[in-house]
Amino acid sequence: MHKVHKIALDPNDRQATALARAAGCARFAYNWALARWNELYEAHKADPSQPKPNQLALRRELNAIKRERFPWMLDVTKCAPQEAVINLGKAFANFFAGRAKRPVFKKRGIHDSFKCSAGTFKVFENRIQLPVIGTLRMREPLRHPDAKLVSVTVSRTADRWFASIAVEVPNDAPASPPDGGTIGVDAGTREFVLSNGERHEVPRALRKAQRQLRRAQKALSRRKRGSRNREKARRRVARIHARAANVRADWLHKLSDRLTKTFSIVGVETLNVRGMVKNRHLSKSIMDAAFAEFRRQCDYKAAWRGGRIVVAGTFFPSSKICSACGAKTKRLPLGRRSWVCESCGTRHDRDLNAAINLEQLAVSSTVPACGEFFASGVSGSPDTPCGLDEAGTKHRCA
Ligand SMILES: [Zn+2]
């Protein structure tokens, strides 16, 4: 299996310029290939005897013309434009398979990156040697020093450069999942509450970053377009964003690590996509991103460790069900932290009750023929090929 270790780089000024140039070259090649792809596709539509576009043909075409038309491309590693066109091919494959939107043109300064394939780069202890650019210092050594190198993607976030090094490691999934049983997680904006009563507060640094971000965004919106001060304000926003993302990822990695190492099944709520789009508060959007990131981490880590994630359906009312008797309360205002069940009189902490409901849901979940998880009244992940039947009680494959 492939694992990726992302490490911050310390380029000197000359190297930073070279990295930016390679990323710019990759972006140009990607945009050139995308434009060609669209042209070829139109030509094929008009006259089906014309070939359909594909990345291999586009790479050959680019190689044939670059010396003549884009001579500056020869100043950077040849991997940068090549891998960019391969990536475009993957982006179209994802689009055709319905996994992603149609590829769009890349903009300068947004997701700047380039990729080098195996054999073109080397890693020694705290250093990485990239073609043409030279040897750069890394902030930490590669976590899998003896593993076979697969590729490296060098990318920029705010003003910092990172190397995401992919390596081939043996599949070390254990024969049996962790034996801690099932846990439910209620992910809130202030804290994540587990069904065993544990509470994990959102880091103070993250909440502080949310406030700073709000201020920096306001300052940015007051600056004149195209001015030097606007550029400075834009960088400040990008830096705070990047820092918030780092703090968030670190906290979530520690939590998702512990959960997937301890419990065999983790029950979580589905991401409320509609609510996310509607909500325009930045601080809230940071936590929505945190939840999406948490789900992503739990998903792949559970797969490593033989456990699994059960996701409640969009309409599963985790907060409103009484975890003691199963009755559903009619009204539960968002601000109410605790409530008393009308049927059995149990007093509930809102978040803990939700977490217990998610745990119970996960316990009752079963695995149908297609391998997708579901529980009664609950669908698996919304993009499953199978899903529930019209009555909503059993999987179509069952
Ligand atoms: Zn009750």
More confident residue, 380 or 202: 202
Is it the case that residue 149 has pLDDT exceeding 90?
yes
More confident residue, 24 or 281: 24
Is it the case that residue 14 has pLDDT exceeding 90?
yes
What spacing in Å lies between the alpha carbon of 316 and ligand 1's midpoint?
17
What spacing in Å lies between the alpha carbon of 350 and ligand 1's midpoint?
13
pLDDT on residue 178: 85
Percent of the chain with pLDDT over 90: 56
What spacing in Å lies between the alpha carbon of 325 and ligand 1's midpoint?
4
State the pTM of this model. 0.74
Instruction: Give the pairing type, strands 160-168 and 134-138.
Output: unpaired
What number is the average pLDDT over the span 22-46? 96
pLDDT on residue 389: 56
Helices assigned H by DSSP within the chain: 13-46, 55-69, 79-96, 204-222, 228-262, 273-278, 282-305, 350-364
pLDDT on residue 171: 77
What spacing in Å lies between the alpha carbon of 104 and ligand 1's midpoint?
51
Tokens of 228: 């030097």
What number is the average pLDDT over the span 344-367? 88
> Of these residues, 83, 112, 288, 351, which one is catalytic?
351
User: What's the pLDDT band for 64 if we cut at 50, 70, 90?
Assistant: very high
What spacing in Å lies between the alpha carbon of 348 and ligand 1's midpoint?
9
Cα within 13 Å of Cα(76), Cβ side = 27
In DSSP notation, 14-55 reads: HHHHHHHHHHHHHHHHHHHHHHHHHHHHHHHHH-TTSPPP-H
What number is the average pLDDT over the span 124-145? 94
Q: Is 140 among the catalytic positions?
A: no
Least confident interval from 87-101, 137-151, 177-191, 344-358: 177-191
Least confident interval from 113-117, 183-187, 204-208, 249-253: 204-208
> Of these residues, 269, 288, 359, 372, which one is catalytic?
269
Residues in the chain: 398
Asked if residues 347 and 357 have their Cβ atoms less than 8 Å apart, the reply is no
User: What's the pLDDT band for 380 if we cut at 50, 70, 90?
Assistant: very low
In DSSP notation, 277-308 reads: HH---HHHHHHHHHHHHHHHHHHHHHHHHT-E
What spacing in Å lies between the alpha carbon of 347 and ligand 1's midpoint?
8
Residue 53 to residues 84, 85, 96, 101, Cα–Cα distance (Å): 15, 12, 13, 18
What spacing in Å lies between the alpha carbon of 324 and ligand 1's midpoint?
5
User: What's the pLDDT band for 49 if we cut at 50, 70, 90?
Assistant: very high
Task: Tell me the β-bridge partners of 148.
Answer: 168
User: What's the pLDDT band for 382 if we cut at 50, 70, 90?
Assistant: very low
Is it the case that residue 391 has pLDDT exceeding 70?
no
| Domain spans, the chain | 2-168, 182-364
Cβ within 8 Å of residue 387, ≥6 positions away: 372, 379, 380, 395, 396
Is it the case that residue 283 has pLDDT exceeding 70?
no
Q: Is 351 among the catalytic positions?
A: yes
Q: How far apart are CA 170 and CA 304, in angstroms?
A: 11
What spacing in Å lies between the alpha carbon of 395 and ligand 1's midpoint?
29
What spacing in Å lies between the alpha carbon of 349 and ligand 1's midpoint?
13
Q: Is 269 among the catalytic positions?
A: yes
pLDDT on residue 353: 94
Residue 163 phi, psi dihedral angles, 5° rounding = -115, 120
User: What's the pLDDT band for 377 if we cut at 50, 70, 90?
Assistant: very low
Q: How far apart are CA 343 and CA 325, in angstroms?
A: 8
pLDDT on residue 255: 95
What kind and span of H or E run contains 122? strand 122-124
What spacing in Å lies between the alpha carbon of 311 and ligand 1's midpoint?
23
What spacing in Å lies between the alpha carbon of 339 and ligand 1's midpoint?
10
DSSP-assigned letter for residue 78:
T
Q: How far apart are CA 66 and CA 54, in angstroms?
A: 18
Is it the case that residue 379 has pLDDT exceeding 50?
no
> Of these residues, 186, 288, 359, 372, which one is catalytic?
186
